[in-house]
């Protein structure tokens, strides 16, 4: 490393690259991001790079690299102040240093004469100020790299031997090169048993061998021009995306579902260093197989991008993302077409064989499939889902027979060859096979819809029977897992219970299903009989916690949500309307005064204890303010109840604004906790009745900002 006076003291870009064997594609982007962040953080923590220094990460199938701009050759010196004992403790009555001060100064290697006295804001203390010399990049680089490597999210490390034949190293994949450049100068560093240099390698087949990087700033350009490597993951992804869409448009086709395209795009970006797009074809006869099967085998097994007509129908064509750019791609295309045909033929074989056995004939075999060690077989689960589905259908006044039939057949496709090969198709294949078997269309569609919504933002079941089955399926899972003590803990949710609960909430709210939550939970636990603990309260609490998160994402404020959800509403379908009413009420000029009064009432009643009624005896009123408040309550009660019956929550809360003046006068003029026990109890009953009337829509005390 040259001395600071060669112009590097002001900072130069630092490049660190690990050249490896093929890295796991699904982990590549995370590894690249973590490596970049780790090196940059290590430099910043040592004062070698500014907090706002530009950081560029690079990740290809065979390399992890990072470039940090304006890295200093040596960190600046810094002044460090260390607080010592207080003057009262450090000096005796004669002003002589005590052992406390002497020992502390000795630990700091500080002469007593070098100490200063100053206040720490509370008392006068001794301080020692020293200058710490900045660390050099040469001295720090090994630790920076080691720290970054230690923090990588490696899915599974492997051990391998270095070229010397006896040194064993552990890393995600064997590393064959370490490049560390500060500007144009090689920084002497070591990591994973390798010494640093300026040499890397390009594309495995389309580069000219070892490549020298002259300067850190020229890294990606050199790799691109000499090595046929696009080092930036983002740039490579963008190029693939653009080329795919350009080629699809030229064929008057589309790439299909954008979420699935994005996932596959991330994966193929991690598989190639120099992408090229080619078009493959397969025989149209394969299109007689459900297109979901063909799409899945192409995307999952072969990493191809299927092509679709504008209406969404699969075409007998697909796009190949190759790691080779050649003038004549016929061999590449022919090879890929030869590979995909057996895969499609397998899908056709499974489909044809599966249809020979009706779904109904497979149901009895579910008794040999274990669902959960504590919850029995899939056959037992099917019977529980059937029981829940019948109750839900009854509550909804839906067709109970259709719901029961759909629940009976719902899991039968788990025993088909196609689902055995492609578990992602469970439900989808059940629908195809149910139609082939002549089942009612409502039953066939419900078999797919039972799994919806599969993820946040996914579509809800569109049919009534599908909604009933989806609710029953998720409720059975939730009750079963809560009943055996398998609730989610922290970030751990192995049975996706949060997703199941959110799915139930979304169906109730977005389909406006006026199904009482407690009735649904009761039905779910009842289906298990005495096999599990009936954790009704715990499951309902879990639902309300998920409901609060769902409402936050819909833009409601924490106070608004607390006002409604903390009341543990049974009808989740009505919660958004209640929240909108709370929001409108909050805009009224009387809102804050009534919220504060309500909060005061809650506190008074809490201190008074249990056993307080809600009906006050007018004969015991002695103050005009008592009578005025009772009159206003009596006047408003039938109006509020009429609004509540009509689900006019905004109107109900607006009526309560009329209670502000008598409420204010009551608290100004009346001593609630009177000495006379009968009068005190009567006034508490009056307040209890007022609270009940005010809080039918929401607990408006939660809106108080005081």
The per-residue pLDDT for 706 is: 64
Please tell me whether residue 204 adopts helix, strand or coil conformation.
coil
The pLDDT of residue 1 is above 50: no
The pLDDT of residue 251 is above 90: yes
To the nearest 10 degrees (0 to 180), the angle between helices 624-645 and 649-656 is: 170
Provide the CB-side half-sphere exposure for 242 (13 A, CA).
7
Report d(CA 330, CA 55) in Å as an integer.
41
Report d(CA 413, CA 433) in Å as an integer.
8
Please tell me whether residue 673 adopts helix, strand or coil conformation.
coil
Report d(CA 257, CA 673) in Å as an integer.
67
- Bridge pairing between strands 12-20 and 63-71: antiparallel
The per-residue pLDDT for 3 is: 39
The per-residue pLDDT for 4 is: 40
The pLDDT of residue 285 is above 80: yes
Listed in sequence order, the residues at least 6 apart from 457 whose beta carbon sits closer than 8 Å to its beta carbon are none
Structure letter (DSSP) for residue 92: -
Mean pLDDT, rounded, for 139-165: 92
Whether residue 453 has a cis bond before it, omega within 30° of 0: yes
The pLDDT of residue 104 is above 60: yes
The pLDDT of residue 390 is above 60: yes
Strands (E), 87-216: 116-119, 124-132, 158-161, 168-171, 175-182, 185-186, 190-191, 194-197, 199-201, 210-212
The pLDDT of residue 597 is above 90: no
CA–chain centroid gap for 180, Å, is: 36
Contact yes or no for 251/302 (Cβ under 8 A)? no
The per-residue pLDDT for 10 is: 57
Report d(CA 581, CA 602) in Å as an integer.
21
pLDDT digits (tens, 9 = 90+) for 322-337: 999 999 999 999 999 9
The pLDDT of residue 35 is above 60: yes
To the nearest 10 degrees (0 to 180), the angle between helices 464-483 and 378-396 is: 130
Contact yes or no for 608/677 (Cβ under 8 A)? no
Please tell me whether residue 661 adopts helix, strand or coil conformation.
helix
Report d(CA 596, CA 602) in Å as an integer.
10
Mean pLDDT, rounded, for 559-588: 92
* Confidence grade of residue 385 (pLDDT, cut at 50, 70, 90): very high
Report d(CA 430, CA 445) in Å as an integer.
9
Does 1 or 139 have the greater pLDDT score?
139
Residue 649 has phi, psi (to 5 degrees) of -70, -35
Mean pLDDT, rounded, for 412-430: 95
The per-residue pLDDT for 9 is: 45
The pLDDT of residue 595 is above 60: yes
The length of the chain in residues reads 706
Closest CA to 114 of 136, 89, 97, 133: 97
The per-residue pLDDT for 616 is: 86
Report d(CA 98, CA 92) in Å as an integer.
6
Closest CA to 681 of 610, 628, 625: 610
Mean pLDDT, rounded, for 71-98: 92
Structure letter (DSSP) for residue 372: E
Report d(CA 679, CA 675) in Å as an integer.
8
* Confidence grade of residue 703 (pLDDT, cut at 50, 70, 90): confident
To the nearest 10 degrees (0 to 180), the angle between helices 233-250 and 258-269 is: 130
Closest CA to 362 of 447, 430, 441: 430
Report d(CA 259, CA 454) in Å as an integer.
13
The pLDDT of residue 288 is above 70: yes
The pLDDT of residue 88 is above 60: yes
Give the containing element (helix H, strand E) for 212: strand 210-212
* Confidence grade of residue 615 (pLDDT, cut at 50, 70, 90): confident
CB atoms within 10 A of CB 469: 36
The pLDDT of residue 422 is above 50: yes
pLDDT digits (tens, 9 = 90+) for 429-451: 999 999 999 999 999 999 999 99
The per-residue pLDDT for 8 is: 39
Report d(CA 268, CA 259) in Å as an integer.
15
Does 282 or 674 have the greater pLDDT score?
282
Report d(CA 627, CA 416) in Å as an integer.
75
pLDDT digits (tens, 9 = 90+) for 536-567: 999 999 999 999 999 999 999 999 999 999 99
Output the CA torsion 684→687→693→694 (10° steps). Answer: -140
Contact yes or no for 563/585 (Cβ under 8 A)? no
The per-residue pLDDT for 27 is: 95
Report d(CA 381, CA 375) in Å as an integer.
8
The per-residue pLDDT for 694 is: 86
Q: Which of 354-368, 422-436, 602-616 has the lowest mean pLDDT?
A: 602-616
CB atoms within 10 A of CB 3: 9
Report d(CA 25, CA 59) in Å as an integer.
10
Note the helical H segments in 400-463.
400-409, 417-421, 428-436, 441-449
The pLDDT of residue 414 is above 60: yes
Provide the CB-side half-sphere exposure for 110 (13 A, CA).
23
Report d(CA 63, CA 207) in Å as an integer.
15
The per-residue pLDDT for 278 is: 98
The per-residue pLDDT for 57 is: 97
Task: Give all domains of the chain, ordered by start, each with its CATH number.
Answer: 4-73+137-227 (no CATH), 78-132 (no CATH), 233-354 (no CATH), 360-555 (1.10.3210), 577-703 (1.10.730)
The per-residue pLDDT for 327 is: 93
CB atoms within 10 A of CB 648: 17
Report d(CA 132, CA 134) in Å as an integer.
6
To the nearest 10 degrees (0 to 180), the angle between helices 464-483 and 497-510 is: 140
* Confidence grade of residue 571 (pLDDT, cut at 50, 70, 90): very high
The pLDDT of residue 189 is above 80: yes
Report d(CA 251, CA 407) in Å as an integer.
43
Report d(CA 500, CA 113) in Å as an integer.
69
The pLDDT of residue 6 is above 60: no
Q: What is the mean pLDDT of the chain?
A: 93
Report d(CA 42, CA 33) in Å as an integer.
14
Mean pLDDT, rounded, for 155-184: 92
User: What global pTM score does this model have?
Assistant: 0.79
Report d(CA 187, CA 65) in Å as an integer.
15
Round to the nearest angstrom and report the end-to-end CA distance of the chain.
Answer: 63
The pLDDT of residue 614 is above 80: no
Report d(CA 279, CA 322) in Å as an integer.
10
Report d(CA 122, CA 30) in Å as an integer.
47
Does 239 or 609 have the greater pLDDT score?
239
Report d(CA 563, CA 580) in Å as an integer.
12
Does 521 or 685 have the greater pLDDT score?
521
Mean pLDDT, rounded, for 122-150: 93
């Amino acid at each position: 490393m040259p001395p600071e006076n060669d112009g590097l003291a002001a900072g130069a870009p630092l490049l660190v690259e690990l050249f490896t064997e093929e890295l796991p594609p699904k982990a590549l982007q995370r590894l690249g991001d973590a490596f970049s962040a780790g090196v940059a953080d290590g430099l910043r923590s040592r004062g070698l790079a500014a907090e706002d220094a530009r950081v560029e990460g690079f990740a290809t199938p065979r390399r992890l690299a990072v470039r940090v701009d304006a890295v200093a050759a040596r960190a600046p010196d810094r002044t460090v102040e260390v607080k010592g004992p207080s003057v009262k403790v450090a000096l005796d009555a004669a002003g002589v240093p005590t052992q406390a001060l002497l020992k502390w100064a000795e630990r700091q290697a500080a002469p007593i004469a070098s100490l200063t006295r100053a206040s720490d804001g509370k008392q006068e203390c001794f301080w020692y100020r020293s200058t710490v010399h900045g660390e050099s990049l040469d001295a720090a680089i090994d630790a920076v790299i080691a720290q970054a490597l230690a923090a990588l999210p490696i899915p599974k490390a492997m051990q391998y031997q270095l070229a010397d034949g006896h040194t064993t190293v552990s890393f995600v994949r064997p590393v064959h090169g370490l490049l560390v450049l500060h500007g144009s100068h090689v920084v002497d560093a070591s990591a994973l048993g390798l010494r640093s240099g300026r040499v890397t390698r390009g594309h495995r087949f389309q580069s000219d061998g070892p490549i020298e990087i002259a300067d850190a700033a020229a890294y990606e350009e050199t790799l691109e021009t000499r090595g046929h490597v696009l080092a930036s993951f983002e740039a490579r992804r963008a190029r693939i995306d653009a080329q795919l869409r350009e080629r699809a448009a030229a064929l008057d086709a589309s790439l299909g579902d954008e979420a699935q395209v994005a996932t596959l795009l991330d994966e193929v970006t991690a598989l190639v260093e120099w992408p090229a797009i080619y078009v493959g074809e397969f025989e149209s006869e394969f299109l007689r197989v459900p297109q979901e099967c063909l799409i899945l085998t192409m995307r999952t097994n072969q990493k191809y991008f299927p092509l679709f007509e504008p209406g969404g129908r699969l075409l007998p064509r697909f796009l190949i993302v190759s790691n080779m750019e050649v003038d004549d791609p016929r061999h590449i295309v022919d090879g890929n077409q030869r590979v995909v045909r057996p895969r499609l033929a397998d899908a056709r074989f499974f489909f044809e064989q599966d249809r020979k056995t009706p779904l109904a004939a497979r149901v009895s075999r579910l008794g040999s499939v274990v669902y959960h060690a504590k919850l029995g077989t899939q056959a037992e689960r099917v019977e529980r889902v059937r029981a829940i589905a019948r109750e839900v259908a009854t509550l909804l006044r839906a067709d109970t027979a259709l719901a029961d039939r759909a629940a009976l057949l719902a899991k039968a496709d788990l025993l088909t060859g196609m689902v055995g090969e492609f578990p992602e198709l469970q439900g989808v294949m059940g629908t195809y096979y149910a139609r082939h078997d002549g089942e009612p269309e409502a039953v066939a569609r419900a078999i797919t819809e039972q799994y919806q919504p599969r993820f946040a933002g996914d579509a809800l079941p569109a049919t009534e029977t599908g909604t009933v089955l989806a609710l029953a399926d998720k409720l059975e899972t939730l009750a079963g897992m809560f009943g055996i003590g398998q609730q989610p803990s922290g970030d751990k949710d192995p049975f996706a219970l949060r997703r199941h609960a959110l799915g139930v909430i979304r169906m109730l709210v977005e389909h406006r299903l006026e199904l009482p939550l407690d009735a649904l939970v009761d039905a779910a636990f009842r289906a298990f009989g005495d096999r599990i603990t009936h954790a009704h309260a715990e499951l309902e609490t879990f639902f309300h916690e998920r409901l609060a998160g769902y409402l936050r994402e819909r833009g409601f404020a924490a106070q608004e949500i607390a006002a409604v959800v903390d009341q543990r509403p049974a009808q989740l379908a009505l919660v958004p309307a209640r929240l909108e009413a709370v929001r409108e009420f909050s805009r009224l000029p009387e809102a804050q005064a009534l919220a504060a009064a309500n909060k005061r009432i809650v506190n008074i009643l809490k201190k008074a204890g249990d056993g307080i009624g809600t009906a006050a005896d007018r004969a015991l009123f002695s103050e005009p303010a008592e009578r005025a408040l009772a009159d206003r309550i009596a006047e408003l009660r039938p109006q509020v109840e009429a609004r509540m019956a009509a689900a006019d929550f905004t109107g109900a809360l607006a009526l309560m604004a009329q209670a502000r003046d008598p409420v204010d006068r009551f608290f100004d003029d009346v001593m609630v906790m009177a000495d006379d026990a009968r009068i005190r109890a009567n006034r508490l009953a009056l307040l209890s009745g007022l609270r009940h009337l005010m809080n039918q829509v929401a607990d408006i005390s939660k809106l108080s900002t005081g």
